[in-house]
Structures are given as C-alpha cells and as structure tokens.
Amino acid sequence: MTLPGKKPLIIVIGIALMVVVYFFTKQPEFVDVEIVTLEQGEVRSTVSNTRVGTVKACRRAYLAPATGGQVAELHVNEGDSVKQHQLLLEIWNKDLKAQVKLQEAQIRANRASAEQACQLGAGAEREAERLSRLQKFDHIVSEEQVDIKATGARAKRASCNAALEAVAVSQANRDAAQAAVERTLVVAPFDGTVAEINAELGEFITPSPPGIPTLPAIDLLDVSCLYVSAPIDEVDAPQIKTGMSACVSLDAFADKRCSGTVSRIAPYVLEKEKQARTVEVEVKLTDPDDLYGLLPGYSADIEVLLARKANALRVPAEAVLENNRVLLMHEDGLLEERRFKPGLANWNIVEVLSGLNAGDKVVLSVGREGVAAGAYAREQP
C-alpha cells in the first residue's frame, strides 16, 4: 500500500525519467569524417595516359648484314660507344674482296690499253692533217692517199674511245664487286651505344625472311636523345597540341621530371583494345638533369598541361560526388549537399567557379558509411 504523501513524488520522478530517455534517444548520432577547408591555390588542367608508357631512344637501329654468312670479324662489344660509319661486324668475304682487287687490276690494264690506243689515234690524226695540207697546196700526194690516212686516223680515234669505254666498264664491275663486299659489312648509321649483340665469331647468320622477324645481329641506340611514348584516351587526345608542357613520372624514380614538351601526336587511333582506343603521344625531355639516369625501356607516365590558374578556389577531387556535388559540414555538424560549377580539373584538384566559398568545410571521406546529406558529423582528429 502506497502512502498518500509519496504518490506525487513517484509521478514526478517517472516524468523526469521519461524526459531524460526522450532527450538521449533524440540526440543525433555523429559520424567521424575527414574535413578540408576550401582555400585559394594553383589549379592545373591536365591529361594523363591510360596505360603505362615507355622511355625510348630517339634513334634505334636493329642492324644485320644484307646477306647471310659466317661471322668473320666482330669489332665491338656490348656497351661500346661507336661513331657514325664505324665498322661493327663483318661476314666472311675474302672471295668478294679478291673480286674487287681483280677488277682494280683490270682497270689499270684497260687504262694502259686506252693510253696506247689514244696515242696512236692522235698520231694518225696529225699525219692525216699533214697529208691533207700537202695535197691542198702542193698536190704532191694524191687525194686517195689523203683519204686512206684520214680513214685510218678516224679508226684509231674510235679504238681510243672504245678503250676508254672499256675502262668505264671495268670501273662499273669494280663498283659492283665493292657493293657485294659492303653487303657483308654492318656499319653504324649514327653515333650511338651498342645495346645488344646477338652474334658470335664463326656463327652463321642470315637476314630475316619476309614477315618473320628475328633477333638483330646488333642493337644500336642513340641514348643522347630520349623521349616518352604513352597512349592517351581518344576522348582526351583532341585537347593535346604539340609544344604543350608535360611532366614525366617514372616508377624507378621518386620525383617528377617536368621539362617535357609534347613533340608528336600520332595521326591515327590505335585499335588494339576495342573498348579503350588510344592515341600515341610522345613527350621529349629537354633538361639535362631530367635526362640523367634515364634508360630506354623504363616504364613512365606523362601528364600534359592543358591550362593553368595560379590563384583559384579549389576542392580536392576525392571530395567531389557525381554531378559536381560536395557535402558541407555546418558548425553544428549537420551535413548539407551543395552543387558547384567546376572549372579546370585534374586527378587531384577541381577548380570552383561558383556555388562554394573560401572557408567552407567540405567532407573528404564521402564513401564512409553513414556519411550523407542530413546526417550529423564531427571532424576526425
């Protein structure tokens, strides 16, 4: 049995408990989020490659002799620096060199014969000229004798010309024999470095059959000039122009190298992957410090600068939702969705033209569970 004086007190305590329970159950649940405060800064609009690119030498030659044979001389080693026209490799060619010597001897013999024929021809012409004068002024000799001498002189002059033509023929034969020798030689087409040798002394090598590529006898690189070739998505390619600035990133080095310039844009679209067609873009590095340590074959990425603003309001790209929306956090922790007008953009930063202000607090961790417009959040330390 409850005492009459205690009944109002129990009612008051019950009401108080109900108020406390209601207050705590209605308190919003806060989620921890990462926050960034919007501020002014540099914004760059860039385009990057879709698949990994490659460092390449401006000049690279896969060299092999024009004719097959046994390797007789190998004049270089891998890693050697060579000069243009330097002899690198020689196929056995003693028989062809002997043909060259034979033709040179034939040239000397033909020249001697031509000298003899031309001297005789010149003498016959002089004698015919004398007889012609005697017949004309003194009539000492007959016209028939003059005619015989003139015909003989012309015949000897023709013999001289024939001998000279024989010299020319022997020179052509010598040049043909020399060309056959040169087909057995491998010479450097430019100054470079021997990257690889796929031939040994005494080994028999042959040129590649049509349509069947084989290893080159010598792989020659000009490492004084390097560039990066990388595929750009066909959607982004029309924005790129030759002469634009570009940065190069390499897996082998930590720092970006930003002395690059777009030197070439392929005039066609690659169709190797039907779902991701690309255009090959080449970036050439000009700063010697950026070229230092690079080797042909390194994997590399390019980032072409399309436009730049030195001082613009910007938001991190990871905070931007679909259709250019962000989540703002108010002082009480309430999250509000706000749409903005974007400007320049890259993978990391998006320029804000309107819709947001400097000092706004934007949520970075938009993919976290519970983070949505209308929720309450608190800044993660």
Predicted confidence band of residue 3 (pLDDT cuts 50, 70, 90)? very low
CA pair distance 142, 124, nearest whole angstrom: 17
Look up the CATH architecture of domain 65-91+184-216: Beta Barrel (2.40)
Confidence bin at 5 (pLDDT 50/70/90): low
Per-residue pLDDT band at 1 (split at 50, 70, 90): very low
Q: Which residue in 328, 311, 258 sits closest to 289, CA to CA?
A: 258
More confident residue, 4 or 192: 192
The pLDDT tens digits for 244-267 are: 999 999 988 988 899 999 999 999
| Structure confidence by residue, pLDDT tens digits, 327-341 | 999 988 898 999 999
Res 102: pLDDT: 93
Q: Is the pLDDT of residue 26 over 70?
A: no
Average pLDDT score over residue span 153-165: 86
Which band of pLDDT confidence, cut at 50, 70 and 90, is reported for residue 27? low
Give the pLDDT confidence of 111-157 residue by residue, as tens digits.
998 888 888 888 888 887 777 777 777 666 677 776 787 788 788 88
Domain at 29-44+310-379, CATH from 3.30.460.10, 3.40.720.10, 2.40.420.20, 2.60.40.1890: 2.40.420.20
pLDDT of residue 75: 93
Residue type, 153: A
CA distance 110 to 171: 10
How would DSSP label each residue in 205-252?
Answer: E-PPPTT-----SEEEEEEEEEEEEEEEETTTGGG--TT-EEEEEETT
Contact between residue 277 and residue 271 where contact means Cβ atoms under 8 Å apart: yes
> Helix 143-182 crosses helix 94-137 at what angle (to 10 degrees)?
160
371 in Cβ contact with 30 (< 8 Å):
no
The amino acid that residue 228 corresponds to is: V
Q: Answer for the pair 354, 341: CB distance below 8 angstroms, yes or no.
A: yes
Query: How many whole angstroms separate alpha carbon 252 and alpha carbon 159?
Result: 75
For the stretch 200-215, what's the b/e string if a residue is b when 16 or more beta carbons lie within 10 angstroms of its beta carbon?
eeeeebeeeeeeeeee
Q: What is the mean pLDDT of the chain?
A: 86
* 48-59+224-308 to CATH, choices 2.40.30.170, 3.30.365.10, 1.20.1250.20, 2.60.120.480: 2.40.30.170
What is the full DSSP assignment across 19-77? HHHHHHHHSPPEEEE-EEE-EEEEEEEEEE-SS-EEEEEEEEEEE--SS-EEEEEE---
What is the pTM (predicted TM-score) of this model? 0.62
Tally the C-alpha atoms within 13 A of residue 14's C-alpha that lie toward its C-beta: 6
Burial of 333 (0-12, 13-18, 19+ CB in 10 A): middle
| Range with the poorest average pLDDT among 140-154, 204-218, 291-305 | 140-154
User: For residue 287, is pLDDT > 80?
Assistant: yes
Question: Could you give the CA distance from residue 228 to residue 221 in angstroms, rounded to a whole number?
Answer: 15
CA distance 342 to 228: 31
Give the domain ranges of the chain: 29-44+310-379, 48-59+224-308, 65-91+184-216, 94-182
**Can you give the length of the chain in residues?**
381
